[in-house]
């Protein structure tokens, strides 16, 4: 039986997805887009996942089951990166959000700035050295329930700026992670395990995805690294 807390959370999520999927307001045909000199208009706080205590409760509500088949999977079934207004797409929004002193060209491409990858604490000044990681990878989502979604929901999941699902990280750490779950791969930076587990567990809860038992055990162990008090 779904708890009142989960119904409220689901309603909030539905509203956020509706906002993301809603049509972008069209600019007047006569208005020429102003080239952004700096992405100050796109900067926003990185969504903070819920507390460790709340995520532990959320994880307990998740269905534990074996991974679904990868039959039929394709990244193309999770359309990304989508336009987020003007010439900016989801990737550029996250780069602007997660970096410092980010400057963009007229096409919203980040041409300078400073980024620190939270997975391995490496610093970068070239946006091309960064990947935008899906905290819960698309293939993992497919194996844990997204195989039954429609394209609109997969699109919202792949471009979610409302929750802790997207983060700019070093390309090397993202390639190392691949589509592995926390029982198979953890960030090299141990001090990030707490936030990583909170973000992963909450994302699975928000979207009603499943977990495997080893994955659940790994999340519980990583949450043990969170400060208490």
Half-sphere exposure in the Cβ direction for 44 (13 Å, CA): 14
The answer to whether position 10 is within a domain reads no
Q: What is the average per-residue pLDDT within 173-180?
A: 98
Does any domain span residue 171?
Answer: yes
According to DSSP, residue 69 is labeled P
Name residue, tokens 């790994």.
Answer: 218
d(CA 105, CA 35): 7
pLDDT 10s digits, 31-65 = 333 434 444 333 446 799 999 999 999 999 999 99
Q: Look at residue 114 and tell me if it is in a domain.
A: yes
Domain that holds residue 206: 34-223
CA distance 148 to 187: 29
The answer to the question of residue 186 being in a domain is yes
Q: Which residue has the tokens 């959320």?
A: 58
In a domain, 139, yes or no: yes
Indicate the range of 45-49, 94-98, 106-110, 157-161 predicted with least confidence. Answer: 45-49
Structurally, the chain folds into a number of domains equal to 1
CA-CA distance, 8 to 136, in Å (whole number)? 22
Examine residue 216 and state whether it is found in any structural domain, yes or no: yes
Domain-embedded: residue 70:
yes
Per-residue confidence (pLDDT) for residue 229, from 0 to 100: 52
- What value does the mean pLDDT of the chain take? 86
Q: 62 in a domain, yes or no?
A: yes
Single pTM value for the model: 0.81
């Amino acid at each position: 039986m779904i708890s009142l807390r989960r119904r409220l959370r689901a309603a909030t999520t539905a509203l956020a997805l509706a906002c993301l999927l809603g049509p972008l307001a069209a600019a007047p045909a006569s208005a020429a887009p102003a080239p952004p000199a700096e992405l100050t208009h796109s900067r926003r706080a990185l969504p903070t996942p819920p507390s460790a205590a709340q995520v532990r409760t959320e994880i307990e509500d998740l269905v534990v089951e074996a991974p679904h088949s990868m039959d039929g999977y394709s990244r193309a079934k999770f359309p990304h990166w989508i336009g987020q207004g003007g010439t900016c797409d989801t990737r550029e929004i996250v780069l602007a959000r997660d970096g410092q002193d980010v400057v963009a060209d007229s096409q919203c491409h980040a041409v300078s700035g400073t980024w620190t990858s939270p997975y391995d604490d490496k610093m970068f000044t070239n946006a091309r050295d960064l990947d935008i990681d899906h905290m819960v990878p698309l293939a993992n989502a497919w194996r844990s329930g997204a195989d039954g979604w429609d394209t609109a929901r997969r699109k919202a999941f792949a471009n979610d700026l409302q929750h802790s699902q997207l983060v700019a990280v070093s390309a090397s750490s993202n390639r190392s992670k691949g589509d592995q779950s926390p029982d198979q791969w953890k960030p090299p930076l141990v001090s990030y395990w707490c936030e990583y587990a909170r973000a992963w567990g909450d994302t699975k809860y928000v979207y009603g995805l499943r977990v495997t038992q080893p994955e659940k055990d790994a999340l519980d162990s990583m949450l043990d690294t969170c400060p208490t008090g």
